[in-house]
Amino acid sequence: MRFRTIIACLALSSPALALEAEPDDVYVRVVDGGPALCTVTRMPGEFYMVYDTGHWTGDECLAAVTEIVEGETIHLLVLSHADSDHLGAAPEILEAYDVQYIVRTGFPRWGTATWEEMNEAVAAEAKFGASILNLQSLSFEFGEQLLYDDATVTLIAGWPVWTDPGPTESERRNAISIVLRLDYAGGSVLFTGDTVGRRKSDPDTACKDAEKVMVDNAGSVPIRSNVMIAPHHGGNNGSASCFIAAVDPDFVVFSAGHQHDHPTAGAAERYLAHGVPLDRIFRTDRDDDEGGFEWAEGRVPGCDDVRGDDDVDIVIRANGTVEVAYRGASDDC
């Protein structure tokens, strides 16, 4: 199965060009599902990973899974935390596929229909033989690795941690996000969920919470990665300068939509200040205009980003070359 993408490092307004991922490449799609996160990964040997499953409305995540996954098996499903914009298609995916291994935080959100439906679906999949790693109830050493032929998935974070009493309830939920790194042939992608490392009003020097813990432990559990799928959709309570420096990404992808002022100008400017080139920063809400704290790069006045036209493809070649690109031209405004 071959996939279409755009040549990496093009400016946001550049025309679409075609690029193919070969069977011995790692292919990751960051799905444009609006204000949500869904990623689908194919690894050599026909191993598949889904990290987060998108918004509770819309079918973009399930459509991407259906397109990319050949056969009936998903080898690894990671649900980074309990927010509904990361869980939307989980029940449908679990119903349609044989999911072999599920990693989740285990922290509940009773009373939230999306979480409860996901929870029931995971329990049902367990009855059919899926292995469940519930980080709340099972002992687990972070830095442990899952091997898929020549590709490696390392679990880096996923614990309740904050470094001062300041987090809001929402930030406490985000701070436990499961963070993992995918490595292949010397190239790497960091999946961060909604992890946090600062408060929205902090100075750029702030370094807190889960991001600080990952930085402090980077000597034993490395986080340096070629591609960072940015924390919390580009929210200003993530992407602390210390975390950006430790990851030292060549490319950054913001999974965002027309809501919450994501990606924020503050987060984007910290990546630029670190030296990530503008044409290596991608967002799944091109043209969007929310005003407020949203990053203004590429804004079209009065434009509301629509879903489904700003998917971002990541390819790690068998020779270690990493490429990132939009799948096509934006159709928003």
The DSSP annotation for 60-80 comes to HHHHHHHHH--SSEESEEEE-
Q: How many CB atoms lie within 10 A of CB 170?
A: 14
**What is residue 298's predicted lDDT score, i.e. its pLDDT?**
86
Q: Residue 49's beta-bridge partner residues?
A: 41, 76
Residue 172 has pLDDT above 90, yes or no: no
| Environment class of 319 (CB within 10 Å of its CB; exposed 0-12, middle 13-18, buried 19+) | exposed
Count: domains in the chain: 1
**pLDDT band at 20, cuts 50/70/90?**
confident
Task: With respect to residue 15, please indicate whether it lies within any of the assigned structural domains.
Answer: no
| Burial (Cβ within 10 Å: 0-12, 13-18, ≥19) of residue 293 | middle
With bands split at pLDDT 50, 70 and 90, how would you rate the model's confidence at 165?
A: low
Of 155, 150, 120, 113, give the one whose Cα is nearest residue 135: 155
According to the model, what pLDDT value does residue 259 have? 83
Q: Identify the three-state secondary structure at position 264.
A: strand
Distance of CA 36 to the CA centre of its chain: 9
Convert the pLDDT of each residue in 214-233 to its tens digit.
999 999 999 999 999 999 99
Amino acid at the residue 333: C
Helix, strand and coil percent figures for the chain, each rounded to 5: 20, 25, 55
CATH of the domain at 127: 3.60.15.10
Q: Using the structure block, give the residue that is written with the tokens 């799944």.
A: 284
> pLDDT tens digits for 39-73?
999 999 999 999 999 999 989 999 999 999 999 99
Region of poorest pLDDT, from 22-31, 184-193, 199-208, 262-271: 199-208
| Between 93 and 140, the higher pLDDT residue | 93
> Does residue 162 carry a pLDDT above 90?
no
DSSP per residue over 122-177, as a string?
HHHHHHTT-EEEETTTS---TT-EEEETTEEEEEEE-S---SSS---HHHHHHHT-
Instruction: Output the pLDDT for position 11.
Output: 33
Instruction: Write down the pTM of the prediction.
Output: 0.93
Mean pLDDT of 176-195: 97
Residues 161/213, Cβ–Cβ less than 8 Å: yes
Q: Which one is predicted more confidently, 119 or 137?
A: 119
Residue 244 lies in a domain: yes
- Please check whether residue 8 lies inside any domain of the structure: no
Model pLDDT, residue 90: 98
Spatial separation of the C-alpha atoms in residues 107 and 145, rounded to whole Å:
22
In a domain, 58, yes or no: yes
Round to whole Å and give the CA distance between 104 and 107. Answer: 8
Whether pLDDT at 17 is above 60: no
Span of 92-106, 129-143, 212-226, 300-314 with lowest mean pLDDT:
129-143
- Summarize the confidence of residues 68-83 as an average pLDDT: 97
Distance of alpha carbon 97 from alpha carbon 68, whole angstroms: 13
Segment 282-299 shows an average pLDDT of 92
pLDDT of residue 260: 84
Report if residue 17 sits inside a domain: no
Indicate the average pLDDT of the chain.
90
Asked if the structure places residue 333 within a domain, the reply is no
Are the C-beta atoms of residues 196 and 225 closer than 8 Å to each other? Answer: no
> Three-state DSSP class for 318?
coil
**Burial bucket for residue 209 (CB in 10 Å: 0-12, 13-18, 19+):** buried
10 Å CB burial of residue 11 (0-12, 13-18, 19+) is exposed
Structural domain span for residue 136: 22-326
pLDDT of residue 193: 97
Task: Note whether residue 7 is domain-resident.
Answer: no
| The pLDDT of residue 329 | 78
- Neighbour-count burial for 261-271, b at 16+ CB within 10 Å, e otherwise: bbbbbbbbebb
Q: Phi and psi for 86 in degrees, rounded to 5? A: -120, 0
Whether 227 maps to a domain, the answer reads yes
Inform me whether the pLDDT recorded for 100 exceeds 90: yes
Q: For 247-256, what is each residue's pLDDT tens digit?
A: 999 999 999 9
